[in-house]
Chain A
Amino acid sequence: MWRLSLQMFRGNLRRFVGAILAGFLASGFFATVLLFIALINAATEQSMGSAAEDNEVGAQAILGFVAIGLIVAGSVVFTTFSVIVTQRTSELALMRCLGASRNQVRRSIVREAFGLGVISSVLGDAVALLCATVVAGVNHVPFVVPPAALLWPIIITTLLFIGAALVPARAATRVAPLAALRPLSSGIADRRGSRVRLALGAVIAIAGLSLLVFGAIAPSNLVGISALGGLSVAVGVMLTGLWLIPALVVAVGRMFGSKRIALTLARLNATRQPRRLASTANAFIVGISLVAMIQSGMLVANTRLENWVFATAAEQGFDPNETIVQVRESLAAVANIVSALLAVAVLVAIVGISNTTALSVSERSRENALLRALGLSRGKLRAALLAEALLVSTCAALIGIVLGWLLGTFGVNALLNTYLGSFALVVPWAAIAALLGIAVAAGILATLLPARRATRLSPVAALAYE
């Protein structure tokens, strides 16, 4: 069976490209960080003659960003397997008819996840190792590669991939053998979440928002309250995402016009499978909201500090401008470094959007052919696919920006509450514009390949395609 599984895995590899790319980015980042920590230690040892321990805290902070990237990659894997299990319903049912047990079906999916984890993390290791070796060579650092720095990314990524595939694998075991005899129906609507979850999420989000704001404007230091509030808002948004995201997509889609066929198709297709939409968008929301949070928080800190410096300078009679330039530069530097570290998570989420679009388009190839046969032009079909990806990426970005702004603005105000200056309500417009730009670019990037495949297919060929 192993050889057979391997061959089926190879046959399906095309569908796994997105998951591999996501895993490669996240685990490559992991390996790079571990290798460069070792590299820096080696360099310090070389120049100082003793092992350095000062980097510990910084290393742990950076590993936090690695974890975020990995979690986003895990969500891409989860989405991929969820979609693939739906698409392979006929094949899974056939296997069940031929005597595959539920366990064999589950194991086949888990094996695929294992394979993807190993492939993507080994690729990541290879690239990270190449980078580290080049840097060490250029700087003449005697660098011995620690095996752990290459092993950990493989172990963690593979476990993460298997974990992410467990729920879809369970869904695969529920495919009835009888499904092999039913005609293939593409847009199978997935289950909606419970109302309890929606209500709970809304309550948690609103209560959290009140705590967050209260901690920021209260006349005493209530950082703990605000932190709890911020965490609750994030949890609430994730819980309500299954409703919030489709609702926003519908609203934004309608805003741009409900008469245009491409836009209507895009809106309906994007919201057809709320779970798929939500899990794709959530990955993007995580990355975008963290960047927005950092940028908003830094702007608040900057504003409060400047106000404080001006006030103190007026009191004590020194020129505030020099100090302010220094403060501004150092805060901006920190914000940019942190944003750059989050870029990996954002990149992985973009791969996720692209992946979902590609899988959905291949799933709907017959439907698209029917639309073309009924007279939808090639350009209109391409526009519909583009609009669909743009709706997903911009709506996710909007939610991420608002969430990140709330957390960053009120969080940092709460943090500095009784120390520096007074409450500052500011909006990092430049950063927001940049994030929206990234979202638009992500949407366009996501449809480049799938749209080409979908529009090249002739109506007749696609209808005959089994």
Chain B
Amino acid sequence: MVDVARPLAVAATHVTKRFGQGDAAVTALDDISVECERGSFTAIMGPSGSGKSTLMHLLSGLDTADSGEITIGETRLSGLSDRGLTELRRKHVGFIFQAYNLVPTLTAEQNIALPSLLAGQAIDSAAIRSLAATLGLEGRLRHLPAQLSGGQQQRVAIARALFSQPDVIFADEPTGNLDLQRGLEVLSILQRGARELGQTIIMVTHDAHAASYADRVIVLADGKIRDTMAGGDALSIAQTLARIAA
């Protein structure tokens, strides 16, 4: 892939978000600017209450900023109606959550195809099968979520996010409910997604080891960006976190 100036997948400029009113008001995000290039794998870290989840909600259009501008692909989020945001989520954004990722009454295959089905697009079953095969889900496509292990469920969620080739995938503590080994599998799949498929990924996590799989780590505290690291091993990330928390 030749990229002269790699275009941005997600950009946030001077974003501020407050919760509550008057004396009880809390500034969750204080004038934050972030840019994510196409094909980049960014981890957002920070202690509880640092604003990392709020930032993800705003970047993905699930919540609206009080001020500032957010752009996904070529779409500016401010002023988008519910209909516009729905369209955006369908075509340009993928989600991977910590838990409750799959519709329990639908098979793995149907869950993967769901965003495309909601958009009224024809489904390429062969494409789903080959994607599932790369994620080690062969022979699992006809299973219901309850018949899959936690790691398999999470891989189905990743397949769903990858399938529609969105501008960006948001992963919210994707390894939070998994044991160590299954967590590593999920993280290396995400890493390969970014490196081999050029898929932009933004992951929120409080786990330094998970963050070490990203190309870049943004550390938040008290609603501000405290540090930006170009990757690194789990130990150096953990040390940075500890320094900021101290």
Q: Which residues of A contact B (CB under 8 A)?
A: 1, 4, 7-8, 10-12, 90-91, 94-102, 104, 176-178, 180-181, 184, 466
Q: Which of A1, A10, A94, A97 has the most CB of B within 10 A?
A: A97
Check B82 for interface membership: any CB of A closer than 8 A: yes
Q: Is the CB of A99 within 8 A of B100?
A: no
Q: Which of B87, B103, B117, B120 has the most CB of A within 10 A?
A: B103
Interface residues as binary, B80-123 with A (CB distance below 8 Å gives 1, 0 otherwise): 00110011011100010101110111100010001101111000
Check B62 for interface membership: any CB of A closer than 8 A: yes
Partner of A90, one of B82, B95, B100, B160: B100
Q: Is the CB of A4 within 8 A of B87?
A: no
Q: Is the CB of A181 within 8 A of B53?
A: yes
Q: Is the CB of B95 within 8 A of A97?
A: yes
Check B172 for interface membership: any CB of A closer than 8 A: yes
Q: Is the CB of B103 within 8 A of A91?
A: yes
Give the size category of B's interface with A. Answer: 20 to 34
Tally A-B pairs: CB < 8 A: 74
Q: Is the CB of B115 within 8 A of A99?
A: yes
Q: Is the CB of A8 within 8 A of B105?
A: yes
Q: Find the A residue at minimum CB distance from B63.
A: A178
Partner of B62, one of A1, A11, A181: A181
Q: Is the CB of A98 within 8 A of B106?
A: no
Q: Is the CB of A7 within 8 A of B100?
A: no
Q: List 29 A-B contacts (CB under 8 A).
A: A1-B117, A1-B118, A7-B105, A7-B106, A8-B103, A8-B105, A12-B105, A91-B103, A91-B104, A94-B101, A97-B95, A98-B90, A98-B95, A98-B114, A98-B160, A99-B87, A99-B90, A99-B119, A100-B86, A100-B118, A101-B83, A101-B86, A176-B62, A177-B89, A178-B57, A178-B63, A181-B53, A181-B62, A181-B172
A4–B118 alpha-carbon span in the complex (Å): 10
Q: Is the CB of A181 within 8 A of B97?
A: yes
Interface residues as binary, B49-88 with A (CB distance below 8 Å gives 1, 0 otherwise): 0000100010000110000000000000000001100110
Q: Is the CB of A184 within 8 A of B91?
A: no
- Distance in angstroms from B19 CB to nearest chain A CB is 13
A188–B115 alpha-carbon span in the complex (Å): 29
Residues of chain A within 8 A of B100, CB atoms compared: 90-91, 94, 180, 184, 466
Q: Find the B residue at minimum CB distance from A177.
A: B62
- Additional A-B contact list (4), CB under 8 Å, known A1-B117, A181-B57, A466-B100: A7-B110, A11-B104, A101-B118, A177-B89
Per CB-CB distance, the 4 closest pairs between chain A and chain B, nearest first, are A11-B105, A99-B90, A99-B89, A8-B105
Q: Is the CB of A8 within 8 A of B106?
A: yes
Residues of chain A within 8 A of B105, CB atoms compared: 7-8, 10-12
Residues of chain B within 8 A of A466, CB atoms compared: 99-100
Residues of chain B within 8 A of A97, CB atoms compared: 62, 89, 95
A466–B119 alpha-carbon span in the complex (Å): 29
Residues of chain A within 8 A of B91, CB atoms compared: 99
Residues of chain B within 8 A of A104, CB atoms compared: 118
Residues of chain B within 8 A of A184, CB atoms compared: 100
Partner of A98, one of B63, B99, B115: B115
- Distance in angstroms from A378 CB to nearest chain B CB is 26
Residues of chain B within 8 A of A4, CB atoms compared: 106, 110, 114, 117
Q: Is the CB of B118 within 8 A of A98?
A: yes
Residues of chain B within 8 A of A96, CB atoms compared: 86, 89
A90–B114 alpha-carbon span in the complex (Å): 16
Residues of chain B within 8 A of A91, CB atoms compared: 100, 103-104
Q: Which of A99, A104, A178 has the most CB of B within 10 A?
A: A99
A58–B160 alpha-carbon span in the complex (Å): 61
Q: Which of A12, A100, A176 has the most CB of B within 10 A?
A: A100
- Distance in angstroms from A78 CB to nearest chain B CB is 23
A421–B86 alpha-carbon span in the complex (Å): 71
- Distance in angstroms from A248 CB to nearest chain B CB is 37
Q: Is the CB of A98 within 8 A of B89?
A: yes
Residues of chain B within 8 A of A181, CB atoms compared: 53, 57, 62, 97, 172
A155–B91 alpha-carbon span in the complex (Å): 39
Residues of chain A within 8 A of B82, CB atoms compared: 102
A176–B61 alpha-carbon span in the complex (Å): 11
- Distance in angstroms from A463 CB to nearest chain B CB is 14
